[in-house]
Amino acid sequence: MTTTDPAADAAADTAAPGLVPPDIVRCAYLDLVVTDLAASRKFYVDVLGLVVTEEDDQEIYLRPLEEFIHHNLVLRKGPVAAAAAFAFRVRTPSDVDRAEQWFAARGCRTERREHGFVKGIGDAVRVIDPLGFPYEFFFAVEHVERLAWRYDLYTPGALVRLDHFNQVTPDVPKGRAYLEELGFRVTEDIKDDQGITYAAWLRRKDTVHDTALTGGDGPRLHHIAFSTHEQHNIIAICDKLGALRMSDVIERGPGRHGVSNAFYLYVRDPDGHRVEIYTQDYYTGDPDNPVVTWDVHDNQRRDWWGNPVVPSWYTDASLVLDLDGNPQPVVQRTDASELAVTVGADGFSYTRRDDQEEGFKLGNSV
């Protein structure tokens, strides 16, 4: 890993010089289509312990314990499991106008709804962004009780915040440039000596990311992440899944990320949507926060302890929808895949940069 200081200021806005991008506060909620609402409710409410703000037989609105806006996750019954929208909160009502204009100027399809697209949210605009993802921007939102002090409601694996989204896209440098123009800042990335970028992490709030770009066939949703207060909370989720004989929903982890330095776990919901449980990354709010770059062959980049990344984590992801609710076509990644270059015949990973093959832990483990 190496660190570099970021560009002094935002990338120039090439597409629409005149326009000011919206002031994005944070990732705010995911609008997620599930095929069996009862099964999903059991997973997100009974097992993971998210709190129901309101629900009916078509939709369930969920939040973790420290949230004060109406929801961070909408489960919506539908025919095809997919992500309907990645919603971001903006700083003022007029930032919704700025978002609409900024994307329109790029020739992106936009749809504005004064009363919002879901319950609890007011004036909002949805767009299909240059990468094919459905993004939403809103300011107006209903406030609900912040349950931070309600320890009588906490479970051993209590989820307290929405932390980030993670998106799969074929061309990471293109996506990164667009999101930097939109006002995101890169905190970390994974590259190789040939100049290929495999992934990038971008933030608005003071954490490592509000969203990340993972190189692969896309546009697809890689995962949504909720955070806990401590590491033992994540262990408690694993223990509970074992007690419920649901351990096979654990896809990867728990472990320590190299990227972000956070403690993590990945689970899969009844539709295969991936959820990360995440805790303890670092403060990134300074304008010159150093960018951390990882070598794709560094076996500690994705798991600091060198434990193998399961192939499904690289290959599986969820479809995303267009503004009419139809799945977006998936475009293949043409650059080298992280899986291929790190595992198996064509790839290699090292624990110590200068080691020989012996240093290659995966070989010992599989």
Which residues from 246-275 bind a copy of itself, rule CB under 8 A?
A: 246-248, 250-251, 254, 256, 258, 261, 263
Rule CB under 8 A: say whether 185 interacts with a copy of itself.
no
- Please select the residue that binds a copy of itself; options are 54, 59, 123, 239, rule is CB under 8 A: 239
Rule CB under 8 A: say whether 344 interacts with a copy of itself.
no
Nearest-angstrom CA–CA distance, 329 and 159: 33
199 forms bridges with which residues in the sheet?
190, 214
Instruction: Compose the 94-133 pattern: x for residues touching a copy of itself by CB under 8 A, - for all others.
Output: ----------------------------------------
Rule CB under 8 A: say whether 310 interacts with a copy of itself.
yes
Rule CB under 8 A: say whether 235 interacts with a copy of itself.
yes
**Per-state percent for the chain, helix, strand, coil, to nearest 5:** 20, 35, 45
Q: Which residues, other chains included, contact 152 with Cβ-Cβ below 8 Å and sequence gap of 6+?
A: none
- Please select the residue that binds a copy of itself; options are 19, 183, 229, 325, rule is CB under 8 A: 229
Q: Which value, to the nearest 10 degrees, does the dihedral of the CA atoms of residues 239, 245, 248, 252 take?
A: 0
List the alpha helices (DSSP H) in the chain.
Answer: 37-41, 93-104, 172-181, 231-243, 311-315, 338-342, 361-365
Residue closer to a copy of itself by CB (options 35, 280) is 280
Smallest separation (angstroms) from a copy of itself to the CB of 211: 16
- Please select the residue that binds a copy of itself; options are 50, 74, 75, 160, rule is CB under 8 A: 160
Residue closer to a copy of itself by CB (options 59, 316) is 316
Rule CB under 8 A: say whether 41 interacts with a copy of itself.
no
Q: 84 and 134 in contact (C-beta within 8 Å)?
A: yes
- Please select the residue that binds a copy of itself; options are 187, 299, 328, 342, rule is CB under 8 A: 299
Whether the upstream peptide bond of residue 219 has omega within 30° of 0, thus cis, is yes
- C-alpha angle with apex 254: 88 to 332, nearest 5 degrees? 55
Q: Which stretch binds a copy of itself (CB under 8 A): 36-44, 115-123, 176-184, 298-306?
A: 298-306
Residue closer to a copy of itself by CB (options 12, 195) is 12
How, if at all, do strands 185-191 and 110-113 pair?
unpaired
Backbone angles phi, psi at 47, to 5 degrees: -90, -55
Rule CB under 8 A: say whether 307 interacts with a copy of itself.
yes
Rule CB under 8 A: say whether 356 interacts with a copy of itself.
no
Smallest separation (angstroms) from a copy of itself to the CB of 128: 26
Residues 311-330 that bind a copy of itself (CB under 8 A): 312
Nearest-angstrom CA–CA distance, 177 and 126: 21
Region at 325 (left for phi over 0; alpha for psi -120 to 50; beta for the rest) = left
- Please select the residue that binds a copy of itself; options are 115, 244, 344, 346, rule is CB under 8 A: 244
3 state SS of 70: coil
